[in-house]
């Protein structure tokens, strides 16, 4: 169970870190994205955008601190559930809008983004299950699993872009 636990936590950490970085670098654009995708948010767009980033990074860090890993998994599940509801609403209310998953840029919200979040929610649940039976992991577990977990996390995070890339071109 240690390998599943470590892989899942590293995968979720990489997902949240990879997602938060462009939001931090281009905070103004991300804040504007939040303001335009959530009707009536107004003044609260900045605090909400900042809290999204802080929660992503906080959940990721808690995942890596052994006594706090359950709190990190709960935070990850909360974030992923919230993001899924948000993406579904954006897809229904403002079709064609970028998802904002990695900042203000990105492909338009689609079913691939919802599938991606469901995959991450399943990963969160499996990790939670594996964490219950796991003892403290060794550094070698993290060293061996860091690269594959990061690669999987980035691929899953960009599932919408990958789906758009692999979709056959429309012919007239």
Average pLDDT of adjacent 10-residue blocks, the chain of 172 residues? 88 94 93 90 93 95 91 95 93 87 76 91 94 76 90 87 76 63
Residue at 107 is within a domain: yes
Enclosing domain of residue 54 = 2-166
Percentage of the chain with pLDDT > 90? 58
- Which of 127, 49, 122, 50 lies closest to 86 in space, CA to CA? 49
Question: What residues are paired with 108 via a beta bridge?
Answer: 98
Q: Tokens 């897809």 map to which residue?
A: 91
Q: Could you read off the pLDDT of 130-155 as tens digits, one per residue?
A: 888 766 777 888 889 999 999 999 98
State the pLDDT at residue 142: 86
Q: In the structure encoding, which two tokens stand for residue 39, read together?
A: 């009707």
Residue at 172 is within a domain: no
How many other C-beta atoms lie within 10 A of the C-beta of residue 21? 15
Residue at 171 is within a domain: no
Q: Tokens 């929610």 map to which residue?
A: 121
Residue at 20 is within a domain: yes
The three-class DSSP label of residue 102 is coil
Q: In the structure encoding, which two tokens stand for residue 138, read together?
A: 């060794």
Residue at 9 is within a domain: yes
State the pLDDT at residue 77: 96
Number of domains in the chain: 1
């Amino acid at each position: 169970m240690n390998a599943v636990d470590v892989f899942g936590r590293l995968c979720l950490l990489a997902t949240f870190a990879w997602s938060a970085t462009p939001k931090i670098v281009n905070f103004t654009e991300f804040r504007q994205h939040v303001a335009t995708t959530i009707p009536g948010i107004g003044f609260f767009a900045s605090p909400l955008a900042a809290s999204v980033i802080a929660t992503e990074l906080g959940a990721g860090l808690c995942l890596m601190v052994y006594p706090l890993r359950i709190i990190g998994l709960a935070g990850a599940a909360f974030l992923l559930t919230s993001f899924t509801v948000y993406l579904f609403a954006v897809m229904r209310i403002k079709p064609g809008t970028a998802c904002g998953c990695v900042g203000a840029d990105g492909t338009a919200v689609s079913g691939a983004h919802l599938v991606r979040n469901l995959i991450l929610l399943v990963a969160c649940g499996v990790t939670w299950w594996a964490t219950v039976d796991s003892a403290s992991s060794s550094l070698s577990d993290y060293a061996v699993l860091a690269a594959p977990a990061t690669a999987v996390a980035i691929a899953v995070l960009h599932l919408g872009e990958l789906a758009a890339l692999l979709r056959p071109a429309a012919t007239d």
